[in-house]
Amino acid sequence: MKRFFAIALGVLTAIGGFVDIGDIVANGEAGARFGITHAWVLLLGVFGICAYAEMSGRVSAVSGRPVFDLVRERLGPRVALANLTGSLLVTVLTLGAELGGVGLALQLATSVNYLLWVPVVAFVLWAALWRAKFTVLENVFGLTGLVLIVFVIAFFRLHADTGGLWHQATHPGPPHGEDWGTYWFFAVALFASALTPYEVFFFSSGAVEERWNSRDLITSRVNVFVGFPLGGLLAFAIMLTSATVFHPLSTSVDSLSQVALPAALALGKLGLAAAILGFFAATFGAAMETGLSAGYTVAQYFGWNWGKLRRPREAARFHTVVLVSIVVGVAVLLTTIDPIQLTEYTLVFSAVALPLTYLPILVIANDRDYLGDRVNGRFANALGMIYLLIVAIAAVAAIPLMIVTRMGGG
């Protein structure tokens, strides 16, 4: 059983990365509008995040320091500051969106408007980050989030047209009613959602919180190679069920309630309850991940004490950053901006910030000062460089696509 919990960090990171509120709706919308013609994007994203998360985990385990901590040393304070500002902006906005997402999940269960839930959720989040043990948070939210497996079960109960779906998956391209512009916009958004910066920073800081060392390299790898594909599978299941139910009806998806419908259709109230519970756990987990990630990156840039493993008295600046991030997130939501629209915008911006995040990781993973002889091999470097190229293309294409397709509206 203990082994099972050992992968909780990877699972939680992956859930916060692959099925946060933005991804849930983006995958649902992509499935409804494009069928599963974007399946290859998810696959590409899973490989990419696995490659880079493995590097980050290795760096943390062998050097005892998280990746972001090393960016300033290796690349200088200015580059690291650019990196910090970019990822902090995306992370805090995402935190706001996740708080909204938790509110939306609670609204589905109780019909009480999400805005009324937001302050409550924010307080509970802060309290959890203040007092609850890191491992408890990992285990509870990581493993509860796995309840989203209900979408896989629902798919098999829906008697889908598997031939048609297979055809969609193997023939990427816009179906009737969509054009290549919107197709690529969604491709970039889904790819960016798989590789959001806070995932790697959270994973490598979490590795240090768990006190992994060189002997834990295998644990790190298992976390990566089990957790992230699992996250990708959950995202794909949402896309798949949405493609099965909504695509034949030519109906687009833009709300959380719609994404849950296939589960209700296939499995009734139990399926619906599981879906809502899964949404709650995944978005709350993502909120934790982004909240902590904001604190980690700021503290690691300036060299402050950080981490839940220290007494808050001794990491006052770190905890203040976490608190302020949550407050800013709530403030953004109280402008009544639609949380789902907020995530769609942050997805585009995070696509632009991707090269800033991943180039330093590749550089650091090749540095013998930190990794000794555990630096990247040829395969890891080749994969890293290929993905860096893909990420750069996505970053350059994101904003033009957003403007030309009017956020995918066409």
Nearer to another protein, 369 or 386 (CB): 369
Q: How far is the CB of 66 from another protein (least distance, A)?
A: 11
Burial of residue 227, with CB atoms counted within 10 A of its CB: 0-12 exposed, 13-18 middle, 19 or more buried: buried
Q: How far is the CB of 334 from another protein (least distance, A)?
A: 18
CA distance 291 to 274: 25
Q: How far is the CB of 141 from another protein (least distance, A)?
A: 15
Q: Is the distance from CB of 91 to CB of 297 less than 8 angstroms? A: yes
Q: Which structure tokens are listed for 216?
A: 């834990």
- Contacts of 9 by beta carbon, 8 Å cutoff, 6+ apart: 138, 142, 203, 206, 207, 210, 223, 227
- Contacts of 276 by beta carbon, 8 Å cutoff, 6+ apart: 105, 108, 109, 260
- 19: closest CA among 359, 384, 205, 287? 287
Q: How far is the CB of 296 from another protein (least distance, A)?
A: 13
> Which residues bind to another protein, rule: CB under 8 A?
63, 65, 69, 72-73, 76-78, 80-81, 85, 107-111, 130-134, 177, 245, 249-258, 260-261, 264-265, 268-269, 272, 276, 302-306, 308-313, 316-317, 319-320, 323, 369-370, 409-410
CA distance 323 to 318: 9
Q: How far is the CB of 159 from another protein (least distance, A)?
A: 16
Nearer to another protein, 369 or 389 (CB): 369
For every residue of 382-399, DSSP letters joined together read: HHHHHHHHHHHHHHHHHH
Q: How far is the CB of 249 from another protein (least distance, A)?
A: 5
CA distance 261 to 326: 31
Q: How far is the CB of 131 from another protein (least distance, A)?
A: 5
Nearer to another protein, 167 or 310 (CB): 310
Cβ atoms within 10 Å, residue 167: 13
Nearer to another protein, 46 or 178 (CB): 178
Nearer to another protein, 137 or 169 (CB): 137
- 137: closest CA among 9, 51, 269? 9
Nearer to another protein, 55 or 299 (CB): 299
Nearer to another protein, 218 or 369 (CB): 369
